[in-house]
Structure 1
Amino acid sequence: MKFISKFFVLVASIIVVLGVGAFLLPNLTKNKHSELAMAADNVNPLVKIEDVYASTNAKPIRHFIGGGGEDEYTYHLVTYNAQGQSRTLAFDSQWKLKPNKFLKISTKGQNVESWGKVDRETVPSGIRQELMMS
């Protein structure tokens, strides 16, 4: 009987630790550009996929040759979600971004799921103003 109660206490403790971690981890990984932050957000069920917007006026922070011999560029972009909350994301592109354009980026925390150019008019006006000032 003592073993069973200790087992249930251990299981309950693990569930509490995982639950608290799932709630706290998104705040700890926000604006972090490491593989660990991306992996943590990717497996966390509390981190939802959301669309954010960015301006392409940033310069690449790194240029390298990819595994297939293609040019790759790493960017750190300030993005804004529909509520106007900002987040810095890092992602790789196989070409240089053209300046003065806008991107719509689908993210799961620090993971960039997909991204593409959007017309200026599709970016919400409040977000567009923030992007033009940054």
Structure 2
Amino acid sequence: MKAWQKRVLSIVMVVALALCATPWLTRNQTTTAAQVLDMVNPVVQEETVYVSTKDSAVQWHANNHGGLDYRYEVQSYTADGIPRKLELDASDRPLDANAYLAVVTKGQTVLRWHEVPRSQVPTHALKHLMY
């Protein structure tokens, strides 16, 4: 193998290793950097996790259209009960208290969420989320 081929192979291997290692490094990190890394990483898949809004820490600030943006740091659980800390944003009004949410994520990036009845939360997630 020629020297340039070895260099190219080495670069490809380093990039592949970085892509595979990033999800473990960003897990439970609520930073913007973690969200961006997971969003652009093709190895990270979309996943639905479940959240309870009870006892969620909230911060709020004025937004550009005269309302308020609410930011929650929440503990979520997969359908199998595996935990993940996330940052969840809501615009113009706070989340309903004592609600369950299905949150679609790509790693640490929240793509979308919606409220679900308790009956639609998987059993393994529900046992961690029950009030």
TM-score after normalising by structure 2: 0.92
- Decide whether aligned partners of structure 1 residues 100 and 110 sit closer, same or farther in structure 2, where only a CA change above 3 A counts: same
- 1-side partners of 2:72 and 2:36: how far apart? 19
How far off its partner does 1:84 sit? 1.2
| More displaced stretch, 107-116 vs 51-60 | 51-60
Q: What is the aligned-residue RMSD (CA, Å)?
A: 1.5
- Name the counterpart of 2:39: 42
- 2-side partners of 1:74 and 1:101: how far apart? 16
Q: Which 4+ residue blocks in structure 1 deviate beyond 6 angstroms?
A: none
TM-score after normalising by structure 1: 0.90
Query: Is contact 1:58–1:75 with CA below 8 Å preserved after alignment?
Result: no
Query: Is contact 1:58–1:76 with CA below 8 Å preserved after alignment?
Result: no
Q: Radius of gyration: which is bigger?
A: 1
**Match runs of 1:1-134 below 5 Å:** 5-94=2-91, 95-132=93-130
1:67-125 deviation per Cα after TM superposition (whole angstroms, max 9, x unaligned): 22220011011001112110000021112112111000000000101001001100012
Query: Is contact 2:56–2:74 with CA below 8 Å preserved after alignment?
Result: no
- Decide whether aligned partners of structure 1 residues 130 and 106 sit closer, same or farther in structure 2, where only a CA change above 3 A counts: same
Where do 5+ consecutive residues of structure 1 fail to align? none
3-state DSSP class of the match of 2:33? helix
- 2-side partners of 1:60 and 1:48: how far apart? 27
Partner amino acid for 2:20? F
How far off its partner does 1:126 sit? 2.4
The size of the alignment, in residue pairs, is 130
3-state DSSP class of the match of 2:55? coil
3-state DSSP class of the match of 1:84? coil
Query: Is contact 1:76–1:89 with CA below 8 Å preserved after alignment?
Result: yes
| More displaced stretch, 103-112 vs 64-73 | 64-73
Q: Percent identity?
A: 33
1:12-65 deviation per Cα after TM superposition (whole angstroms, max 9, x unaligned): 111111111111110100011111101110111111001000001134431101
